[in-house]
Amino acid sequence: MRSTYLKQLNSLEKELIVMGSLCEAIITKCVASIGVKDFDLAEVRTLEDEINQKERELENLCIRILLLQQPVAGDLKYISASLKMVTDLERIGDNAADIAETAMYINKRDDEGLHLIEKMGDGVIFMVRSALDAFVRRDKALAKEMIEYDNIIDDFFLKIKKKVISSIDKEEVDGESITDLMMCAKYLERIGDHAVNVAKWAIYAG
């Protein structure tokens, strides 16, 4: 029985890493789609489906461990936090897919706006990866760093917002394109918020 329990815990950790890697992949793909008119959404949809499937698998695994193994103390907190965390990872996948649906309509001539979005995307990927690492390694210090790092993501969002307002004021704007740019920034900000949640679960589980 103990051997089965340890295997299930090991499997849970490995599958969380897989789900996190899928989230990194979909964010990377979606940020790369910005301004690409003929971008093919098929790969993004496949990644989103894989993330949704992984969420279901991990939820089932967590529930099986909780019901059949009746873990206590630290393991109970870790498994309970994992069950909550997969919801945040699934929503990261949803927000990334929303970016891809929107991003291809952005005017690629807006070099400054695109540069800010790309930098924001890099920061969000770093946050997701590091928050998950903190959770798996039960590293509270790293988790706290990622909670603070969200301020950098928020700062990028504010810069993009100012860029949008400035463009509108100067009437230098393709209205649809600038709105889509703002929406992509908002989706990235939400991904950052979900990464913060993952970091908070790491602190709880640690």
For residue 94, pLDDT beyond 90: yes
Q: Among residues 15, 18, 4, which one has the least CA distance to residue 71?
A: 4
Q: Encode pLDDT of 50-80 as tens digits.
A: 999 999 999 999 999 999 888 888 899 999 9
Which three-class secondary structure state does DSSP give residue 34?
A: coil
Give the whole-angstrom CA distance, residue 53 versus residue 180: 29
Q: Where are the domains of the chain?
A: 2-205
Q: At what angle do helices 140-169 and 111-137 cross, to 10 degrees?
A: 160
CATH architecture for the domain at 2-205 = Up-down Bundle (1.20)
Give the whole-angstrom CA distance, residue 172 versus residue 161: 15
For residue 173, pLDDT beyond 90: no
Which three-class secondary structure state does DSSP give residue 87?
A: helix
Give the whole-angstrom CA distance, residue 48 versus residue 95: 10
For residue 111, pLDDT beyond 90: no
C-alpha distance from residue 52 to each of 17, 57, 88, 195 (Å):
15, 9, 11, 17
Are the beta carbons of 173 and 92 closer than 8 angstroms? no
Q: What is the mean pLDDT of residues 81-95?
A: 96
pLDDT at 66 (0 to 100): 92
Rounded to the nearest 5 degrees, what angle is found at the Cα of 93, between the Cα atoms of 90 and 97?
A: 145
Residues 6 or more apart in contact with residue 194 via CB below 8 angstroms: 88, 89, 91, 92, 95, 128
pTM confidence score:
0.92
Q: Among residues 93, 84, 95, 55, which one has the least CA distance to residue 197?
A: 84
Q: Encode pLDDT of 13-56 as tens digits.
A: 999 999 999 999 999 999 888 877 778 889 999 999 999 999 99
